[in-house]
Amino acid sequence: MLTNSKVYIAGHRGMVGGAILRKLNELGFNNIVLKTSSELDLRNQENVDDFFSKERPEYVFLAAAKVGGILANNTYRAEFLFDNLMIEANIIHSAYKYGVKKLMFLGSSCIYPKLAPQPLQEEYLLTGPLEQTNEPYAIAKITGIKLCEAYRDQYGCNFISVMPTNLYGIGDNYHASNSHVLPALIRRFHEAKVNNDSSVTVWGTGKPKREFLYADDLAEACVYLMEKYNERELINIGTGEDLSIKELAETVKKIVGFGGELLFDESKPDGTPRKLMDVSKLASFGWKYHTPLEEGIKSAYQDFLKTNN
């Protein structure tokens, strides 16, 4: 990509798309096309086709998606499947139709089987049943990967797929019930601190292990891979390191400054026991994350304070 190449970021108002936009701006890119969801409904095939016909972007970052945590995934199962299928099918087809030079599709680590061996290697895709609570979202993301492969196979499109691990950072969703675990913990501990609560209760046993990548590190990896990676197979993006939900909660508790007790509601679901990415393929292309978890959570907490007070 040249700095004057026409780049479309689908989903620039989200945490991931926003981080990619910041990274491209930092690198001097000056021909970036952006549309909010109110300006362009990506679920509408005719609207997406018209947009690509008019704008003719050369490069596309497909970061738009309907996302949420365990509760949202399990509650809005039809929406998570339908909306994500429509968004990716419309964009990928229009990218092919209007000659996009390269498209990057961003998936999710939940595409891997619930009980896949750890760490998760790219070839484990479709080797076993998915985690039931987020199966619709995972199926939609797997379809996106397969669409990129199929358009490459049939039409020679340079469409690549990247699988980020759990993400957090600036512009995250801190909704009380529909957010992912890390932003949910930030909100819960902050509110408990403000209200002088004696304890905070976390869903599940605290035993599942998760990996977390700062969104601006992901953006750097995405731009890097847009330049360097041209293969058919998906590629994981993560840290290659994980910690238990209990350890995560204790870290957030310390950073927020909550002095009460930490409790676990074992009647609530744990989700997948462990989700650690194998990032050896990414490392072979010369990229590694650089924001330590505590430093990233401190930045995320400051962002939460700015946007939620």
Which of 59, 137, 174, 301 is catalytic? The answer is: 137
Residue 277 corresponds to which tokens in the numbers above? 């990415």
Per-position b or e across 50-66, b if 16+ CB within 10 A of its CB: ebbeeeebbbbbbbbbb
17 annotated ligand-binding residue: yes
- CB-based contact 226:104 (threshold 8 Å): yes
Residue 119 corresponds to which tokens in the numbers above? 């760490």
- CB-based contact 249:178 (threshold 8 Å): no
199 annotated ligand-binding residue: no
203 annotated ligand-binding residue: yes
119 annotated ligand-binding residue: no
Taking the CA of residue 56 as centre, how many other CA atoms within 13 Å lie in the half-sphere pointing to its CB? 2
109 annotated ligand-binding residue: yes
Quick check: helix, strand or coil at residue 136?
helix
73 annotated ligand-binding residue: no
15 annotated ligand-binding residue: yes
Q: Which conformational region is residue 198 in: left (phi greater than 0), alpha (psi within -120 to 50 degrees), or beta? A: alpha
106 annotated ligand-binding residue: yes
298 annotated ligand-binding residue: no
141 annotated ligand-binding residue: yes
Taking the CA of residue 186 as centre, how many other CA atoms within 13 Å lie in the half-sphere pointing to its CB? 24
167 annotated ligand-binding residue: yes
12 annotated ligand-binding residue: yes
Q: Distances in Å between the alpha carbon of 179 and those of 23, 128, 166, 175, 201? A: 24, 27, 12, 5, 16
11 annotated ligand-binding residue: yes
107 annotated ligand-binding residue: yes
User: Is 174 among the catalytic positions?
Assistant: no
Task: Give the residue among 94, 233, 100, 214 at the shortest CA–CA distance from 164.
Answer: 214
Integer Rg of the chain from CA: 19
188 annotated ligand-binding residue: yes
Q: Which conformational region is residue 96 in: left (phi greater than 0), alpha (psi within -120 to 50 degrees), or beta? A: alpha
Interatomic CA distance for residues 295 and 233, integer angstroms: 32
Interatomic CA distance for residues 216 and 213, integer angstroms: 9
288 annotated ligand-binding residue: no
Annotated binding-site ranges for NADP(+):
11-17, 106-109, 141, 164-167, 180
Binding-site entries: 11-17, 106-109, 141, 164-167, 180, 188, 203, 210, 270
User: Which residues are catalytic, by number?
Assistant: 137
